[in-house]
Amino acid sequence: MTPTSSLVNKVWNFCNVLRDAGLSYGDYLEQLTYLIFLKMADEYAKPPYERDLGVPKGYDWPSLTRQSGAALEAHYIELLLKLSQQPGLLGQIFTKSQNRISEPAHLSSLIDLIDRESWVSLDADVKGDIYEGLLERNAQDTKSGAGQYFTPRPLIHAMVGCVRPEPGRTICDPACGTGGFFLAAYDFLTDQENHQLDRKQKEALKSETFFGNEFVASTRRLCLMNMYLHNIGEIGGRVTIDSGDSLAADPGERYDYVLTNPPFGKKSSITVTNEEGEQAKQSLTYNRQDFWATTSNKQLNFVQHIRTILKATGQAAVVVPDNVLFEGGAGETVRKKLLDTTDLHTILRLPTGIFYAQGVKANVIFFDNKPAAKKPWTKDIWYYDLRTSSHFTLKTNPLSSEDLAEFIECYSPGRRDKRKATWSEKNPEGRWRRYSYDEIIARDKTSLDLFWLKDKSLSDLDALPEPEELAEEIAENLQAALLSFREIASGLGDE
Does the pLDDT at position 280 exceed 50? no
Q: Which of 117-131, 176-190, 419-433 shows the lowest mean pLDDT across its residues?
A: 117-131
Quick check: is 495 in a domain? no
Asked if residue 218 belongs to a domain, the reply is yes
pLDDT, average across residues 140-156? 68
User: Are 177 and 315 contained in the same domain?
Assistant: yes
- pLDDT of 487 above 60: no
Predicted local confidence at residue 270, as pLDDT: 45
Domain of residue 259, residue span: 133-488
Q: Which residue has the higher pLDDT, 284 or 310?
A: 310
- Are 446 and 333 contacting, i.e. CB atoms less than 8 angstroms apart? no
- Spatial distance between the Cα atoms of 340 and 86, rounded to a whole number of angstroms: 47
Question: Do 385 and 249 share a domain, yes or no?
Answer: yes
Residues 6 or more apart in contact with residue 154 via CB below 8 angstroms: 399, 400, 401, 403, 404
Q: Please confirm whether the linkage preceding 48 is cis (ω < 30° from 0).
A: yes
For the residues 332-356, what does the mean pLDDT come to? Answer: 94
Question: Do 83 and 177 sit in the same domain of this protein?
Answer: no
464 and 398 assigned to the same domain: yes
CA dihedral 332, 267, 358, 229 (to 10 degrees): 100
Q: Which of 69, 87, 122 is the last residue of a domain?
A: 122
d(CA 396, CA 380): 37
Same domain, residue pair 155 and 33? no
Q: Are both 290 and 222 inside the same structural domain?
A: yes
Domain-located, residue 494: no
Residue 276 has pLDDT above 90, yes or no: no
Q: Does residue 304 lie within any of the structural domains? A: yes
Cβ 401 vs Cβ 158: under 8 Å:
yes
Our count of domains for the chain comes to 2
- Choose one of 84, 101, 122: the last residue of a domain: 122
pLDDT-derived band at 272, boundaries 50, 70, 90: very low
Longest pairwise C-alpha distance within the chain: 76
Residue 30 resides in a domain: yes
Rounded to whole angstroms, the Cα distance separating 154 from 310 reads: 25
Q: Are residues 328 and 451 in the same domain?
A: yes
Q: Give the least confident one: 37-46, 170-179, 205-214, 344-353.
A: 37-46
Give pLDDT, residue 475.
67
Which range, of 112-116, 244-248, 276-280, averages the lowest pLDDT?
276-280
Q: Which of 122, 150, 179 is the last residue of a domain?
A: 122
Burial class (CB in 10 A: 0-12, 13-18, 19+), 141: middle
Q: Cα–Cα distance between 404 and 213 in angstroms, integer?
A: 28
Name the residue type at position 151: T
In a domain, 296, yes or no: yes
Are residues 20 and 80 both part of a single domain?
Answer: yes
469 plus 430 within the same structural domain = yes
User: What's the pLDDT at 142?
Assistant: 52
Instruction: Report the pLDDT averaged over residues 112-122.
Output: 85
pLDDT of residue 120: 80
The mean pLDDT value for 332-351 works out to 97
pLDDT band at 461; cut points 50, 70, 90: low
Using CA atoms, how far apart are residues 455 and 435, in angstroms rounded to an integer? 21
CATH of the domain at 17: 1.20.1260.30
Domain assignment present for residue 128? The answer is no
Task: Flag whether the pTM goes above 0.75.
Answer: yes
Same domain, 327 and 455: yes
- 108 plus 201 within the same structural domain: no
Quickly state the pLDDT bin for 385 (edges 50, 70, 90): very high
Burial class (CB in 10 A: 0-12, 13-18, 19+), 251: middle
Question: 424 lies in a domain?
Answer: yes
C-alpha angle with apex 127: 121 to 132, nearest 5 degrees? 175
Q: Mean pLDDT over all residues of the chain?
A: 85
Q: What is the DSSP string of 135-160?
A: HHHHHH-GGGTGGGG---HHHHHHHH
- 157 and 103 in a single domain? The answer is no
Q: Single out the residue of 125, 106, 122, 151 nearest to residue 16, CA to CA.
A: 106
Query: For position 305, which CATH number holds?
Result: 3.40.50.150
Q: Over range 436-457, report the average pLDDT.
A: 92
Which of the two residues, 495 and 485, has the higher pLDDT score? 485
